[in-house]
Structure 1
Amino acid sequence: MARIVTRVEYDVVRILMVINIWWLGVKLYKNPRTAYKVVKRLISNFQDMIGNKKLVRAFEIEGKYSWDMFNPAWPTPGFNTFFTSHLQEIKPTDQSQLGLRRLLIAITKRCPLACEHCSEAGTLYNNDVLSCEEFVSRIDKYVKQGVGQLIYSGGEPLSRFNDLITLISRYKLRCDQWIYTSGFGLTLEKAHQLKQAGLNGAAISLDNHVEQNHNMFRGSSKSFFWVHDAVKNLQEAGVLVALNVCPTKTYIESAGVEELIELAKKWNVQIVNLLEPRAVGNYQDQDVELNVAHKDRLKKISDQFNFDRAYLNYPTVLYPAGYRAAKACGGGISYLFLDYDGTLYPCPFCKVKMPEIQQKAALCEA
């Protein structure tokens, strides 16, 4: 089970983490002063993004510290690789290392659900195309290039459990690794297998705090049970757990997001990640995208739980789209999406095909 870290321990860990990044810069640039300047800019960019506030908590599992699901835990090899690439993104030294930090991988389009908002509706339930060995040959190139975080999605990645274990085991000593899952069939035995293979975190999809409503949204009478069972099993196995939430306009207006955060606290979940519905897949051509009032409310909720010490014992609440004004989407720059058939896209929502070597230009506004 993750432990909340705050106050003195939190500050000491932050200092040590920054020193670690600076040392990575020293090795990269062969100059302590240059490393200091680049790390200072990295920190300044982050502070600008969050409005010069201070996060109130981190989480510790087995001596590893995490702030969110988008940056690897410290200290780990994945952290070092990830932030070396981040430094390269700010001040490149070698065009063979272009600053790609994260690779999202849809290892299958098989899925037991029929979700209302599925962005993969056009290819969902298609047969697998690439073998495990073919995925390895593609992923290896990006890991060699400096990718520090791998995220396995689908469809439902647990539908290819044996291949998932093979991939996670292969990159255990080099990358931070997560799965995006519905929790389908994630037994305690499988949770321990995933942990032993090297899984660092799991983001489980939960879109309503009311069991019946979530099941209806996901198209399965068992979905809520799978989520809760997976949360408990992963926590027992020592895996960091997050909830991926795609709140509709109605759900936001009815204060459902706040209720779901309360449920996450009750379940001892460390992170809630708020994703905006997009007019793609099953939502193609529908009026589902949030307006300014909805976005402002989600941003306010995120700020409240992240920066107000009164909510210290609650989860960290991420709302990545809320920072678009300060930081553009990293699709095509800091991360890429590798689809089940080997096609590369800037992100799961932007279906603009990319060459195998990513371009240094943002191609996505997602």
Structure 2
Amino acid sequence: MVINIWWLGVKLYRNPLTAFKVVKHLISDFQEMIGNKKLVRAFKIDGRYAWDMFNPAWPSPGFNSFFQSHLQEIKPTNQNQFGLRRLLIAITKRCPLACEHCSEAGTLYNNDVLSCDEFISRIDKYVSQGVGQLIYSGGEPLSRFDDLLTMLSRFKPSCDQWIYTSGFGLTLEKAQQLKRAGLNGAAISLDNHLEKSHNTFRGSSKSFFWVHEAVKNLQEVGVLVALNVCPTKAYIESGGVEELIELVKKWNVPIVNLLEPRAVGNYQDKDVELDIQHKEHLKKISDQFNFEREFLDYPTVLFPAGYRKAKPCGGGISYMLLDYDGTLYPCPFCKVKMPEVPKQAALCEA
């Protein structure tokens, strides 16, 4: 895999030594970010290898595009290219749920603005610039299922493609259609290990059922599954995160992604953001499951905010959000509008 990245650098810089130095820099940055520890697991699915949900699986065209852009971010080759690697696309604001923490509460249930062709036209520009990973979100991206299939099919030859979803209504038949169209991964939202508590949080008596159904159906067709978890302060203090990880292990899901509650949307002006002790606890859990071999048969537990000191947020630099109306933002939480094709990306401070 590293040789693959080096070869991308050779073609990019037309100099093997320059490529070696840039790849060495890339690896050094990653090792510094994780505290010079060694990850204890990776995953093989559908003939490809992955270690998290933020880097495309290898080998794949999406992997090549993603890491060529990553190299470009470290050492640009000219002024017309930029190191954008990942594009999040909120294809709809429709959603069957009413989640307590919804960050899109201000625009939720708005009518779709862009047609499928208009979305494809915009996404094409970024794929041609080297974006290697596309993430379809919402609202609930499954609410626009036929258009989602069309977009997946369009970018299947060139990109690693994920959905961020509640899993609501994701039957086996739909999982098969998504896989055929080009879906590589799905991050499904689960916010409590207790069915009733999760359903209350999500505003639906069927949400937990559909999370589990979606997990099983996607796993059956060979899609990499992760679970997005947004733990509240009370949930962390009660030991709920550890209980949820045990449940995820039983479900044989390989990745748990711990997200921070943010004071936006339904949480606007509320005291929901985690205190330092909560973040330290989640970072400790993440390190425990990712780097200690005694937990080898547990899922990888990601906590991106835990590495914020070593690596600032990449919003507007390595990834951006294309909203349902065509507006570009650095990330889903930072509502500072950006130019359509940024020449100088601005770091997201959210």
Bin the TM-score by the shorter chain. Answer: over 0.9
CA distance in 2, matches of 1:272, 1:232: 16
CA distance in 1, matches of 2:315, 2:43: 27
Q: Aligned pair 1:299/2:283, yes or no?
A: yes
Q: Aligned pair 1:289/2:273, yes or no?
A: yes
Deviates more, 1:195-204 or 1:355-364: 355-364
Contact 2:88–2:135 (CA under 8 A) maintained in structure 1:
yes
Partner of residue 308, structure 1: 292
Partner of residue 63, structure 2: 79
Match of 2:31 among 44, 47, 52: 47
CA distance in 1, matches of 2:333, 2:348: 8
Q: 1:359 to 1:119 in 2, by over 3 A?
A: farther
CA distance in 1, matches of 2:291, 2:68: 28
Q: Aligned pair 1:257/2:241, yes or no?
A: yes
CA distance in 2, matches of 1:198, 1:319: 27
Match of 2:182 among 190, 198, 201: 198
Match of 2:198 among 197, 214, 237: 214
Contact 2:171–2:217 (CA under 8 A) maintained in structure 1:
yes
Partner of residue 95, structure 1: 79
SS of alignment partner, residue 331 of structure 2: coil
Partner of residue 211, structure 2: 227
Superposed, 1:1-366 pairs within 5 Å as: 17-366=1-350
1:209-229 deviation digits (Å, cap 9, x = unpaired): 000000000000000001000
**Post-superposition offset of 1:247:** 0.2
CA distance in 1, matches of 2:66, 2:80: 15
CA distance in 2, matches of 1:135, 1:361: 21
CA distance in 2, matches of 1:126, 1:313: 43
Q: For residue 209 of structure 1, what is the amino acid of its counterpart? A: H
Q: For residue 118 of structure 2, what is the amino acid of its counterpart? A: E
Q: For residue 94 of structure 1, what is the amino acid of its counterpart? A: N
CA distance in 1, matches of 2:55, 2:255: 13
**Post-superposition offset of 1:358:** 2.2
**Post-superposition offset of 1:361:** 4.2
Identity %: 84
1:80-101 deviation digits (Å, cap 9, x = unpaired): 0000000000000022220000
SS of alignment partner, residue 33 of structure 1: helix
Give the TM-score taking structure 2 as reference length: 0.99
Contact 1:329–1:362 (CA under 8 A) maintained in structure 2:
no
Question: Over aligned residue pairs, what C-alpha RMSD do you find?
Answer: 0.7
1:24-45 deviation digits (Å, cap 9, x = unpaired): 0000000000000000000000
SS of alignment partner, residue 317 of structure 2: coil
**Post-superposition offset of 1:359:** 4.7
Contact 1:109–1:340 (CA under 8 A) maintained in structure 2:
yes
CA distance in 2, matches of 1:362, 1:251: 34
Q: For residue 119 of structure 1, what is the amino acid of its counterpart? A: S
1:75-134 deviation digits (Å, cap 9, x = unpaired): 000000000000000000022220000000000000000000000000000000000000
1:296-329 deviation digits (Å, cap 9, x = unpaired): 0000000000000000001000000000000010
CA distance in 2, matches of 1:365, 1:323: 14
CA distance in 1, matches of 2:71, 2:256: 27
**Tell me, which stretches of 5 or more residues in structure 1 are unaligned?**
1-16
Contact 2:80–2:343 (CA under 8 A) maintained in structure 1:
no
**Post-superposition offset of 1:193:** 0.6
- Say how many residue pairs are matched: 350
CA distance in 2, matches of 1:225, 1:359: 45
Contact 1:332–1:359 (CA under 8 A) maintained in structure 2:
no
CA distance in 2, matches of 1:213, 1:123: 25
**Post-superposition offset of 1:363:** 3.5
Q: For residue 221 of structure 2, what is the amino acid of its counterpart? A: A
